[in-house]
Amino acid sequence: MEEQNKDYILECTGISKAFGGTQALKNVQLQIKKGEVHALLGENGAGKSTLMKIVIGLHKPDEGEMVFEGQRYAANGPADALRKGISMVHQELNPEPHLSIAESIFLNREHTMKGLPFLNKKETNRQAGIILKRFGIEKDPRTLMEELTLAEVQMIEIIRAVSCDARIIIMDEPTSSLDSEETQHLFHTIRELKEKGVSIIYISHRMEEIFEICDRVSVFRDGEYVNSCPLEGVTNEELIAMMVGRQVKSIFPKIECEIGETVLKVENLSGKGFQNISFEVHEGEILGISGLVGSGRSETMRVIFGLDPKTGGKIFLGGKEIAIKSPKDAISKGICMVNEDRQNFGLCLYRSIRENISLPNLPSRQKGILINQRREKKEAEEVAKVLTVKAASIESEAYSLSGGNQQKVVLSKWVMAKPKVLILDEPTRGVDVGAKSEIHTLMCQFAAQGMAIIMISSELPEIMGTSDRILIYHEGRINGEIFREDITTAKVTQEDILAKEFGQKEGGK
Ligand SMILES: Nc1ncnc2c1ncn2[C@@H]1O[C@H](COP(=O)(O)OP(=O)(O)OP(=O)(O)O)[C@@H](O)[C@H]1O
Ligand SMILES: [Mg+2]
């Protein structure tokens, strides 16, 4: 035993933590070796983020102890953890909008700026510039965080955490907003860090990533520790069974349904980041949109939802040309969108689940002045149940939910509005395997009722498993259209789609 303990750079034992009535962690353990990439797996709400927040001192455990590099350890907040050698990439990105990139990178680590008695703006910018270059990011370090896309914010968050010489770096869903290219860049960085002996704790719901980059895995279920093992030799199914405690059927159960009339049509639509986009989506159809981050996918949808203005082209709904002035306008016409950035667009963190789910439906429910609270509660409860939102009650405030459960609330909210066109931008971002398959089933059910669904996703297995048709974006244009038969008959493979995302022309290599 003694011998073995020396292998571990971090050991957490007997950790318990409750939030009010919710027991988030029950007597869990975690052992991390020096220089390994250790996956932490579990369904939404299993307690992964909570344990990590305990490690960096954001929460105090009710019980248990931690040993870091052979010494009893506790952190008094993230700055203290960083000083001691542990940094973290957070799951929920909360950039300070008015800080520059440089200021965000150096936040809380004035101590690492050795030899600089006071923080000199010019020097911070210079150093940030060097770091950005090293990570291949071409941005002025003085750019404000509020001007960045979600993927860029995530990259800056990663850069911040990996550039401060920590011995353990915790990555809580680091790739949730990244595309395949950026993810590979991150994996390259992880391999370099490993070589230097840095340990990484890696949390992700994307199983392919776990198998690609991790050495060992620990699985949690419902706040309890289940098992740890090397990844070599276990299968995807075995891991999923450990996580959910039961066998999960097909991950993407596609329900075939009849495809009807054209609901939405765009003709030569142009805007910031995309040009001359034309497509149609029909009743009962799930139209998948794939492409790299920044290829113009989300930008197109933002215009259709009235968040940004178009610079050219036409939008038709039910055969009639329409002008969309604002999201409110879009919603009133029957177009809803679930945005990828749930904290900024989707969720009121300090409102209850019930209120969050009901917000966009208010007009239909407002009889006179009073909102029919009983009906609101019943409907919200039903939707939350279908989506298996895990929470103490429907009255719990949104901030207290785990990341994946917040995503489910956002989805419930729009689903209840029963739109004609539902646009989903990365709908299963941060959602666990079981819930993912529930969300896909739900999408199919809505399609079967005649809704037209447009889904943007960076996960190719998801796009390929759920779509009736796929449009592939490359640099602001559509670079390919693929039909479901091509996929079910394996005429088109994942690699073919990827090649088109990277700009390969029709027929060419
Ligand atoms: N600040 C808080 N207040 C109340 N309850 C909380 C708080 N933070 C977490 N919880 C609860 O603790 C449990 C564990 O949540 P945690 O965020 O650790 O899950 P997770 O494994 O990270 O899930 P996900 O994969 O969805 O991110 C959940 O039931 C959650 O609702
Ligand atoms: Mg989490």
Average pLDDT value for the chain = 86
Least reliable range by pLDDT among 158-162, 181-185, 368-372: 368-372
Average pLDDT over residues 172-194: 89
Q: Whose CA is nearest to atom 28 of ligand 1?
A: 45
Residues 65-83 have a mean pLDDT of 94
Which bound ligand lies closest to the C-alpha atom of 90? 2
More confident residue, 357 or 315: 315
Return the residue whose CA atom lies nearest to atom 7 of ligand 1.
Answer: 400
End position of a domain, from candidates 225, 244, 263? 244
pLDDT for residue 135 is more than 60: yes
289 within a domain of the structure (yes/no): yes
- DSSP string over 387-422: TT---S-TTSBGGGS-HHHHHHHHHHHHHTT--SEE
Bridging pattern class, strands 320-322 and 312-317 = antiparallel
Residues 72 and 22 in one domain: yes
Closest ligand (CA of 43) = 1
- Nearest residue (by CA) to ligand 1, atom 6, is 400
Do 303 and 209 reside in the same domain of the chain?
no
Lowest mean pLDDT among 4-18, 111-125, 132-146, 271-285: 111-125
Residues 366 and 460 grouped into a single domain: no
Q: Which residue has the tokens 């059910």?
A: 445
Residue 139 within any structural domain of the chain: no
- Residue 430 Cα distances to 45, 48, 175, angstroms: 11, 12, 9
* pLDDT value of residue 33: 97
Residues 382 and 480 in one domain: no
| Closest residue to atom 25 of ligand 1, CA basis | 44
Say if residues 374 and 383 touch (Cβ distance below 8 Å).
Answer: no
Q: How far is the CA of 210 from the centre of ligand 1 (A)?
A: 21
C-beta neighbour count of 251 within 10 angstroms = 16
Instruction: Note whether 237 and 254 are same-domain residues.
Output: no
Average pLDDT over residues 176-194: 88
The pLDDT tens digits for 329-362 are: 998 899 998 876 655 556 777 788 888 877 665 4
DSSP label at residue 26 = E
Q: 432 or 376: which carries more pLDDT confidence?
A: 432
Q: What is the pLDDT of residue 466?
A: 92
Residues 258 and 311 in one domain: yes
More confident position, 137 or 190: 190
Rounded-to-10 torsion of CA 291, 293, 297, 301: 150
- The SS3 of residue 276 is strand
pLDDT at 296: 93
Q: Whose CA is nearest to atom 10 of ligand 1?
A: 400
Please check whether residues 174 and 79 belong to one and the same domain. yes
Predicted pLDDT at 110? 60
In this structure, are 498 and 437 located in the same domain?
A: yes
The residue whose C-alpha atom lies closest to atom 22 belonging to ligand 1 is 49
- Structure-model confidence comparison of residues 71 and 354, the more confident one: 71
DSSP state letter for 18: E
Give me the residue label for tokens 């667009």: 345
Residue 213 lies in a domain: yes
Lowest mean pLDDT among 81-90, 103-112, 114-123: 114-123
397: pLDDT strictly greater than 60: yes
The total number of structural domains in the chain stands at: 3
126 lies in some domain: no
Q: Is residue 9 part of a domain?
A: yes
Q: Which of 365, 390, 411 is the last residue of a domain?
A: 411
| Residue 113 counted as domain residue | no
CA 432 to ligand 2 center in whole angstroms:
10
Burial of 259 (0-12, 13-18, 19+ CB in 10 A): middle
User: Which numbered ligand comes closest to the C-alpha of 398?
Assistant: 1
Q: How far is the CA of 405 from the centre of ligand 1 (A)?
A: 9
123: in domain: no
Q: Pick the atom of ligand 1 nearest to 205's CA.
A: 25
Identify which of 349, 353, 402, 408 to mutate to test ligand 1's pocket (most ligand atoms within 8 A of the CB). Answer: 402
End position of a domain, from candidates 187, 209, 244: 244
Q: What is the CATH number of the domain that holds 9?
A: 3.40.50.300
User: Do 291 and 372 share a structural domain?
Assistant: no
Residue 421 in this model has a pLDDT that exceeds 50: yes
Domain of 405, in residue numbers? 351-411
How high is the pLDDT of residue 317?
A: 97
In a domain, 402, yes or no: yes
User: Which residues approach ligand 1 with their CB closer than 6 A?
Assistant: 19, 22, 24, 42, 44-50, 91, 390, 400-405, 432
Q: Are residues 240 and 261 in the same domain?
A: no
Which H or E run contains 298? helix 297-304
53 and 176 belong to one structural domain: yes
Contact of 97 with 103, CB cutoff 8 Å = no
- The verdict on 216 and 160 lying in the same domain is yes
Cα 200 to ligand 2 centroid, rounded to whole Å: 16
Ligand 1 atom nearest to 51, measured from its CA = 18
CB 51 within 8 A of CB 25: yes
Measuring CA to CA, how many Å separate 485 from each of 312, 470, 500?
Answer: 33, 11, 18
Ligand in nearest proximity to the CA of 18: 1
**Binning pLDDT at 50, 70 and 90, where does residue 124 land?**
confident
User: Residue range 36-60: average pLDDT?
Assistant: 95
Query: Once rounded to an integer, what is the mean pLDDT over residues 456-475?
Result: 92
